[in-house]
Structure 1
Amino acid sequence: MPESPDSEDLFATSPFRDGAPKTEFPSSEILPQAAYQLVHDELMLDGVSRMNLATFCTTWVEDQARRLMDESLDKNIVDKDEYPQTAELEARCTRMLADLWHSPDPTGTRGTSTTGSSEAAMLGGLAAKFRWRARGGRGIPNFVCGPVQVCWEKFARYFDVEIRQVPLRGDRLTLHPDDIAAHCDANTIMVVPTFGQTFTGLFEDVAGISRALDALQERTGLDIPIHVDAASGGFMAPFTAPDLVWDFRLPRVKSINASGHKTGLAPLGAGWAIWREAADLPDELVFNVDYLGGNMATFNLNFSRPGGQVVTSYYNFIRLGRDGYTRVQSAAYEVAGYLADGVRKFGPFELIHDADPLRGIAAVSWRLTGEQTFNLYDLSDRLRTRGWLVAAYPLPADRQDETIMRVLVRHGFSHDMADLLLADMDRALAQLDKHPPSSSLTREESGGFTHSATAEVSTAEFRRRRAEQAAQ
């Protein structure tokens, strides 16, 4: 039996004297207060989510959204017979998004909520594969893309589709329209532009890619559709760059995925897949389930999942509307632009994306220039000591010799927080200049591999080499 909550101080009870279970399933129960405190205290070792500037995901929501999440904790969204109003809210959201992205038939097309943009992307890919098969496609299907998020590599491997990633070349960091034709053939099920690229935050030219595919069809007869991965840009451009054509205004765009829990402002676990018209989602992908109390259609990779994310998405849509989303997203771009100016003034950085709403999402990305005694991993490490998580990473294949840094400006990251980050960057750069991480290693001692000679080697790698030398 668990100890009485009034028997003694909580931290003097046995769970706190013995430690939390770590390897074996525990045999006995403990007080809920003790279980909560154990888990709560361990989670203090996590970082502060709002200072995680590497994540695309929502880290701030209104209190009312939290209340709706709590009230929807027990709602299984797949059970549309038991929770018909949650199902209705999902249907309203899909119609609203179809309208936002200019579907020719917003009330009649198909769409679904998902656990995130990755699942939504895979559904878009599966629909393209089934449409290709229905047209008589034979052999191994393929799709063409530029630098993509790992979900597309998973899609290719899990569903036996060849991924044809166009290599980066020269100063190009995105998929370009003139690269398309050389990689397409009769087995190409789709081209996937990324509208808000993971690595840099830049938009790929969807309209230009569509024109390139139009020209390819005129020459060869190949009619290749587009699926837009708008994981982040899908909830930004409609409000901050409404004249930028990337969505269903282009007839070749057959499906779009977006992440509600990124720039859509919903809590984690919300994604959306929307098709241009109902016929663009093949019926073979739709299952009718009759063992939950009624006959209902489902076309997700997951089955049971919580309904709160859809409920809070609908809350955000009606709470903000077009005007509210425009204000919120415009504010994010303003802060990102202010941050970009601050980064530019430091000197040793060249901006890749400066948060221009016509070029990309509300993000800032940059590279290190010139001969420096530190690299971007060193700067990332220094910022981490102040609680900031700022990503530093190599570019994709064919450009992995170059490292860049990126900050994602999300709802809740204020002008004041940008000032705090810039002040910490200034201090970190001064400290790195005064105490270079590689000062004890010459080029010869490091095998010709020093911080000043390269910008992609992590501090951990240097520490490893230094330890090896000490052991010798």
Structure 2
Amino acid sequence: MPKYSSSRDLQDGIDVRPQFSRDGAVVDIPRRRMAEQSVDPETAYNVIVDELMLDGHARLNVATFGTTWMEPQAEKLMAEAADKNLVDRDEYPQTAQLEDRCLDIIADFWNAPEPDNPIGCSTIGSSEGCMLAGMALKWRWRDRMKEAGKPTDRPNLVVGANVQVCWHKFCRYWDVEPKEVPIRKGETTMHPEDVAAACDENTIGVIGILGSTFDGAYEDIAGMAKELDRLEIEKGIYVPIHVDAASGGLFAPFVDPELVWDFRLERVQSINASGHKYGLVYPGVGWVLWRNEEARPEDLVFRVDYLGGDHPTMSLNFTKPGSGVVAQYYQFVRLGYDGFKRVHQHSRDIAQMMAQAIGDMEEFELIADASDLPVIAFCFNGANTKSGKPRKDSYAANVQYTLNDVADWMKQGGWAVPAYHFCADREELEIIRIVVRNAFSRDLAEMFLMELGRAVGRCDGTGEDPGRAFRH
């Protein structure tokens, strides 16, 4: 029997079922080349739908922070706006107006100094927002150094070892040295004192994270600002903060309004967020705002007139779909502040219920209990130690399987569950992370916990026991 090692080993043509070809005609669709002839639109649609059946179910993907459910009305609006190019503000002035309104709304709950005149833009996602904010930090640092008559050839950016990969991309693409602050053993985020200690006169800025990719934890942005204030007083070194609020920026203002992390801190010069995470929009939209005009250097803004009119633009790409912005405005109008609060609080409640159930299982130990973002992270019981070695006689010290084995069994039940090693400096710690999002109901949570019980039973050889996650 032949073995298929990859999709390239499959037959050259895509098989088309007889029901999908008009009048029984033979349809030849090459797999990796363009066909000579056209096919009926329904035929093309059905062929691709059949292929997409092999994708996992998005709602059962607890690995992603991205939105996987929207109301039909929002989906309809996105489809109707799919052909609108946001950069063409003359042709689509009302879509541009919706972008401006979204910026006003976000600036308001991020406590911008002038929320009615926000300095910012939409982006394709949070990574583009990070790139733009990082460039602004570098440009401002360079201007300060030139004014002081100092060299500008060795800029660095202070980040935690837990930082998202987009910041490593920024440093490589824009020739900036990344200065990684180690994560202390037994901890998951940077300490403010360590942040200030890593800074020098070549530091263009510090990246604080509101909602870590690894475990959903908020970093102490206010604590960082305080230590950087102290650094400036004692050594005369000014270092601004950019808050990477990709996940928390459209979550914390609604469920943690008392948390001070945003433009209420003078040290915070810019913030980015993903609309397609807890902004409740499908992938493809993000946001970045600056404190004021000074924080965003004017020479990073370009003016174009060849689409009609004279419009400023600051982005890494030119063409940008308007559908994500339209959907973001729909969510702001549809839900309002109270609606966002109810949706996000429900996600946190579900996540904390799951965290309690998992924490009560003898096999596991919680790393994150959804106190910040609705994210649960856990390891084998006894694995989370400052030494990096499992506690003596703990479950982790004697276990004969891995968390990857658990994740593989969960996948057999339809769940996409990430198992991975923690960030640099804590790479010995293997964890599983679960992200709870809008439309993840209590019923789904209980189904997940039952599947987790089955997976553990298959791994440890004790037999399937879906109820083990519910015995408290």
Q: What's the TM-score, normalizing by structure 2? A: 0.88
* Map 1:35-114 → 2, pairs under 5 A: 35-114=44-123
Specify every segment of 5 or more residues in structure 1 that has no aligned partner in the other structure, as ranges.
1-7, 437-472
Q: Tell me, what secondary structure is at the counterpart of 2:209? A: coil
Query: Deviation string for 1:24-61 (max 9, x for gaps)?
Result: 22222111111111111000000000100000100000
Aligned pair 1:252/2:267, yes or no? yes
Runs of 4+ in 1 over 4 A off after TM superposition: none
Of 145, 150, 155, 2:159 maps to 145
Hey, what does 2:469 align to over in structure 1?
Answer: none
Alignment partners' CA distance in 2, 1:305 and 1:373: 50
**Contact in 1 for aligned 2:70/2:282 (Cα 8 Å):** yes
The answer to whether structure 1 residue 287 and structure 2 residue 302 are counterparts is yes
- State the Cα distance separating 1:435 from its structure 2 match: 6.9
1:228-280 alpha-carbon deviations (Å, 9 max, x no partner): 00001111111111000000000000000000000000111010001111221
Hey, what's the Cα distance between the residues in 2 that align with 1:196 and 1:344? Answer: 21
Contact kept in structure 1, 2:196 and 2:224, CA below 8 Å: no
SS, match of residue 113 in structure 2: coil
Structure 1 contact 109–278 (Cα < 8 Å) conserved: no
- 2:192 counterpart letter in structure 1: P
Match of 2:19 among 9, 16, 23: 9
Q: Distance in 2 between matches of 1:113 and 1:251?
A: 23
1:104-156 alpha-carbon deviations (Å, 9 max, x no partner): 11112311000000000111101111111111251221111111111111101
- The one-letter code sitting in structure 2 at the alignment partner of 1:140 is R
The Cα of 1:350 is off from its aligned counterpart by: 0.9
What is the identity, as a one-letter code, of the residue corresponding to 1:381? D
Counterparts of 1:255-404 in structure 2 under 5 Å? 255-356=270-371, 360-369=372-381, 370=395, 371-404=398-431
Q: Which whole-Å CA distance do the structure 1 matches of 2:25 and 2:78 have between them?
A: 33
1:235 — aligned with what?
Answer: 250
Between the aligned residues of both structures, percent identity stands at 48
Choose 24-33 or 53-62, whichever is displaced more.
Answer: 24-33
Q: Secondary structure at the match of 2:272?
A: strand
Q: Aligned partners of 1:37, 1:109: CA distance in 2, in Å?
A: 46
Distance between the aligned counterparts of 1:13 and 1:106, measured in 2?
61
Aligned to 1:442: none
Q: Secondary structure at the match of 2:249?
A: helix
Alpha-carbon contact 1:201-1:362 (below 8 Å) kept: yes
| CA RMSD of superposed structures (Å) | 1.4
Distance of 2:225 and 2:328 partners within structure 1: 30
* Farther off after superposition, 102-111 or 205-214: 102-111
Q: Distance in 1 between matches of 2:366 and 2:99?
A: 40
Distance 1:141 1:31 in 2: 56
> 8 Å contact 1:108–1:277 — kept in the other structure?
no
Structure 2: segments with no counterpart, 5+ residues: 1-17, 147-151, 382-394, 464-472
1:335 corresponds to which letter in structure 2? I
